[in-house]
Structure 1
Amino acid sequence: MKKRNGFLILLVTSLLLGCKDQDLAYDNMSDNKILYGKVLEKRSKGMTLALTGESKDRYSETIRVSVKDEVMIKLIEEGQDLSVWYDFLRESDPPQTRALKVAIIKN
């Protein structure tokens, strides 16, 4: 009986820890983690950006950005200038990240 109760406690704890509120990612966004760039290529689940301004100076020239929000990716077009809030950079060639929020910069 003790093994069964221990297993149930472990299972419930694992499930609770694994269930995070998706909105928490937006609450933890930092103004220091913003990329600026022009969309070079749009894909079904992301895009490639040519970094501009201070982003180009701090990182590489291009970056791949995955976008999980289907509505967000539908609004993005090649050639647009964007601000992208991101989680962390994966050091690959080109670097990669995941968009937490995307804003289209109006020219």
Structure 2
Amino acid sequence: MKMQGLWILLVSTLLLGCEDQDLAYDKISDNKTLNGKVLEKRSKGITLALAGESRGRYSETIRVSVQDENMIKLIEEGQDLFVWYDFVRESDPPQTTALNIEIIRNR
């Protein structure tokens, strides 16, 4: 009987400690935003030429991947975008994943 109670406690602890990955992407913050012009569009992402404060934080360009190709269906090279992101991976160029994308201005 004690062993069954320990298993229930262990399983409950494991289940409560696991965060649903989809919920993590619902936590969009205005502090994690980039703005820039689309240099290149790929099937699973874009390359942005950063502008304003975004440029000073990282570098001149950043690769932005998307989880859903529908996010970039209407995006074209030359457009100005506002991108909410998860975190920036330090590579050359830096990389991130878009949580949301807004078109600021068309070419």
TM-score, with structure 1 as normaliser: 0.79
Q: Which amino acid aligns with 2:78?
A: G
Aligned partners of 1:61 and 1:78: how far apart in 2? 16
How much is the aligned-residue C-alpha RMSD, in angstroms? Answer: 2.3
Q: Among all aligned residue pairs of Structure 1 and Structure 2, give the percentage whose two residues are the same amino acid.
A: 66
Aligned partners of 2:43 and 2:12: how far apart in 1? 36
**SS of structure 2 residue aligned to 1:75:** coil
CA 1:16 to 1:73, structure 2 compared with 1: closer, same or farther past 3 Å?
A: farther
Q: In the TM superposition, what whole-angstrom CA distance separates every residue of 1:18-46 from its partner, at most 9, and x where no partner exists?
A: 672625522x1111100001000000000
Aligned partners of 1:100 and 1:33: how far apart in 2? 10
User: Aligned residues, how many?
Assistant: 106
Aligned to 1:81: 80
**Tell me, which stretches of 5 or more residues in structure 1 are unaligned?**
none
Q: In the TM superposition, what whole-angstrom CA distance separates every residue of 1:63-91 from its partner, at most 9, and x where no partner exists?
A: 00001122211111111100000000000
- Structure 1 stretches of 4+ with a deviation exceeding 3 A read 6-19
